[in-house]
Amino acid sequence: MKPQPFLIVETGQPFPTLRRYGRFPHWIRVAAGLEEAETVVVNVEHGEALPERGDFAATIVTGSAAFVTDRADWSERSADWLRDAAHGGMPLLGICYGHQLLAHALGGQVDYNPAGRESGTIVLELEAPAAADPLFAGLPASFPAHATHLQTVLRAPDGATVLARSAQDNCHAFRWGEQTWGLQFHPEFATHHMRGYVRARADCIARHGGCARSVARDVSAAPLARQLLRRFVRHVRRGSSTH
């Protein structure tokens, strides 16, 4: 029997200078090892309606330049759908905006990070519970990841387990229940995506006391962070094969 596809909820577009590499769903598919035929993309930012959950193995929510705190209609509708999906036990993975949207949907707090903008290749520090987590188990205690964000999850949802942090962000990853994950960092980013974002956000980085040239120079590969997308796909496929 043909496996169910993954739903990718598209919440925004890459910075214009990076669109030659495709849209976020393409970046995610490549990093996750999914064929185009194994995914369905719904562009909620452009008003497309979210489908029935039962037709999909799992849902991945992309990043966006939007802000969860703006409470846009499309974002709040997506939050309602994701809340129902999480409570229904559907495997969910939110990236950056998707991470924040999941936290908001489940009762957490999202706002501007008091530590300012986080950009570039950062060091992800795993919390103790990550050792027993289906996605993070077996990974080193710290490893590089790519990040670019102003807002963050200030308080994870009640009942959530925080899995990772960085020097600037205390909630870089969380799991809620058995099947819902949020990742503030970008596992789908390759080094050219990250350098492109640093260049595009140079003015904002400077306003927050950083130097975009130095940040871009320090961008390095983040293969372990990238691995998390394939780990999520494997976790979902294993779960569906036992049902």
Annotated catalytic residue within 96, 99, 118, 146: 96
Annotated catalytic residue within 10, 45, 127, 188: 188
Of 207, 114, 193, nearest in space to 152 by CA: 114
For tokens 């570039």, the residue is 120
Q: Which phi-psi region, left, alpha or beta, contains residue 177 (left: φ > 0; alpha: ψ -120 to 50)?
A: left
Q: Return phi, psi of residue 177, to 5°.
A: 65, -150
Q: Is 96 a catalytic site residue?
A: yes
Annotated catalytic residue within 146, 149, 172, 186: 186
**Burial (Cβ within 10 Å: 0-12, 13-18, ≥19) of residue 16:** exposed
Q: Is 171 a catalytic site residue?
A: no
Q: How many CB atoms lie within 10 A of CB 87?
A: 13
Return the amino acid letter for 159.
Answer: G
**Hey, CA dihedral for 118, 122, 128, 133, is it positive or negative?**
positive
Quote the tokens at residue 212.
């975009």
Cβ density class 128-140: b for 16+ within 10 Å, e for less: eebeebbbbeebe
Contacts of 26 (CB under 8 A, 6+ apart): none
Distance separating alpha carbons of residues 119 and 242, to the nearest angstrom: 40
Three-state secondary structure call for residue 175: strand
List, by residue number, the catalytic residues.
96, 186, 188
